[in-house]
Structures are given as C-alpha cells and as structure tokens.
Amino acid sequence: MVRFVNITEDADGQRLDNFLFRVCSDVPKSRIYNAIRRGEVRINKGRCKPSNKLKLEDVVRIPPFKGQSTTDAEAGPSTASPSERFVAGRIAADALTDIVYEDDLLLIINKPSGIAVHGGSGLQTGLIESLRLVRKADHFLELVHRLDRETSGLLLIAKKRRALLRLQSMLQEGRVEKIYRAWVAGQWPKHVTEITAPLKKLVGQDKGVIVASDGKASQTLFSVIGRTEHATLVEARPVTGRTHQIRVHAAYAGCPVIGDERYGDKAVNRQFSEQNVKRLCLHAAELVLKWDDAPHQRLSAQWNPDPGLRLPEHSSEN
C-alpha cells in the first residue's frame, strides 16, 4: 500500500535517500534508488532525485516495497523476520543494559565490546538497526559517531535530527573531547606523550590503516596510568579522528593494544588470551560535551577489564 509521509523537524534538511534508508531500513538501497529513478517516490507529487533536501511540511510518497505489510509500513521503519527481530532484541538488550545518560534529544550508552554499531560487512543487523526495531517510540535514532566493533565505551545516539546536526557540528569544531583507556603490550616509553604520525587508509582487500608520509595529519596524546610486568594502562586522547587512530599509533610506539588482531602482536595476544584476556583492550571511558549555551557535560563509562589485567596498588603515574 502506498503511504504518504509528512516531513517533520526530524527530517527537515535531510537528503531524500538518507530519509528513505531510515524509514525503509529493511529495503535494499538499490531498490530504493530504483524506485526514485522510476518516479515511484515523489515529493509533493513531483519527481525527485536522491539528493533532494526535504523541508518541513513536504509530503513524500513512498511506494509499497516487497516484504512490507500494510500494518508494518504504516507503523514506520523496518519490517523484519522473527529471527531478525530476535537477534535485534538480543543486541539491543545487551547494549541498553548500561544507559549512561538519556533525555529527549540524546541517548548515551556504554557499548559492550563485540557489538557492531551498524550493519554491513556481512552483518545484517547492527546496534543502531536493532535499537530502531526495539525502541518504536523513538521515531529518530542516528549514530552521532562510531566505535569499532571490539571497542567498548561511550556511544552518542541522537534522538532528534537537530541534536544530530548540532553534535556533528561540535565534533567538527573540536567541542567533543574523547578520552580512551587502553591496555597496551609492554612498557610504554615515559617520554612518548604525543604521536603525530600521519595515517593513510588502504583500499582493496587490506582495508587497514598504515603510517605513511602521504597520509592525513593525525595526533594522539598519551599518558601512563599504571603498569604491570608485561603491560601498561594508558590514557589516550585523540585530537584528530582518523580511523583506527589510537590502535595504529599505539602499535607505532611499539606497544600495540592488547587483543588487537589487526595491528597487534599475535604471540603477545595469544599469551594474554591464555590469561583470560579475550577482547580488544580499548575503552571509550569519558566524553566532554562543550556546549556553547550550557555548562560543559562530562560523562564516564565504567570499564571492567578481563581477569588477566589488574593494576597493582600504587601503580599510577603522573
């Protein structure tokens, strides 16, 4: 059944294709683009392009897509099979066990390690897709930023489009401070408090990140919190926001993050695995939101490292 959707503030200014990806999240993107090209999708009865920006009070015609029942389509985003809903429910339940902060505009969770923030790369359902299926009362849920699948910690999710745009702007302006904690292999050099090695993303099958002279400028600040005989707990503050930045810079310093299967040391990871350290030891521990019209907001998320990593007493360093 064809449905007509009135655009509210949550979609004001959004591209048509991105809007459709959200409200028809179970429909392949290729099918959505085909529907726009064929004129099945219309804005105010007129033909449109994927790049058209939506405005308040626009009316979008959305055709019936195969697999969407009338009831589900009217209800809003996403139909899913029972098995998909079961998986989504489990993912959402795990993610929502530790809500750090929530109001009408923002949801901040302490994401567990092992949960991908979005689908793709062989994953049909990620965290954000699962939340959209489970939290039907929230008509708008979008990731403000991302965390790697194996990284735990603070994740910002916008519940209104205006919150998404504002926070993305704050990120670009450097008004969101991110503070991570990481267990790294070996003894972190005391003199290394800043790494500025430029980073370059590889394309093709490798899809990793390397230090390269023609890479993008990158900066991470490091400080030592404590040490054990074979590992160091460090605080990492990424000044820039490159893909895998902390992980690559730590490896560049000769102390890769423990459990890092891409940039770490396999033999070292195996040794710590035998001590029940079974994950990437990187955690987004704190966020500082530097609002321009309100006091700065500092948020923190508890991290309980695996049993094989425990700091001795009086081990912290200045």
Q: What is the DSSP string of 271-303?
A: HHHTTT--S--EEEEEEEE--SSS--EEEE---
Q: Residue 315 has what pLDDT?
A: 56
Dihedral sign computed on CA atoms, order 5, 7, 8, 9:
positive
Angle between helices 29-37 and 16-23 (to 10 degrees): 130
Q: Which CATH superfamily is domain 175-300 in?
A: Pseudouridine synthase (3.30.2350.10)
Residue type (1 letter), 101: Y
Catalytic residue among 148, 260, 265, 292: 148
Alpha-carbon gap, residue 305 to 195, rounded angstroms: 25
What's the pLDDT score for residue 73?
36
- Ranges in the chain annotated CATH 3.10.290.10: 1-76
Residues 6 or more apart whose CB falls under 8 angstroms from that of 48 comprise: 16, 36, 41, 42
Query: Rg for the chain (alpha carbons), in Å?
Result: 22
What the block records as the tokens of 37 is: 């090209």
Please give the helix or strand (H or E) that residue 154 lies within, else none.
strand 152-158
Cross-strand partners of 6: 59
Backbone angles phi, psi at 271, to 5 degrees: -65, -45
User: How far, rounded to the nearest angstrom, does the alpha carbon of residue 85 sit from its chain's CA centroid?
Assistant: 21
Beta bridge partners of 158: 106, 142
Residue whose tokens read 């929530």: 102
293 has catalytic annotation = no
Collapsing DSSP to helix, strand or coil, 61 comes out as: strand
- Polymer length of the chain: 318
**What secondary structure letter does DSSP report for 63?**
P
Distance CA 8, CA 198 (A): 42
What is the fold, at CATH topology level, of the domain defined by 1-76? Answer: 3.10.290
Query: Do residues 43 and 57 lie in contact, with contact meaning Cβ atoms separated by under 8 Å?
Result: no
Look at the alpha carbons of 176, 156, 54, 12 in this order and tell me if their dihedral is positive or negative.
negative
pLDDT, position 71: 35
Task: Give the other-Cβ count within 10 Å of 100's Cβ.
Answer: 17
Q: Architecture of 80-173 per CATH?
A: 2-Layer Sandwich (3.30)
**Computed from CA positions of residues 180, 148, 86, 136, in that sequence, does the dihedral angle turn out positive or negative?**
positive
Angle, vertex CA 155, rays to CA 263 and CA 146, nearest 5: 50
Ranges for all domains in the chain classified under CATH 3.30.2350.10: 80-173, 175-300
Torsion 80-84-86-88 (CA) sign: negative
**What does the pLDDT look like over 200-227, one tens digit per residue?**
999 876 779 999 999 999 999 999 999 9
Give pLDDT < 70 ranges for the chain: 66-88, 120-124, 205, 305-308, 313-318
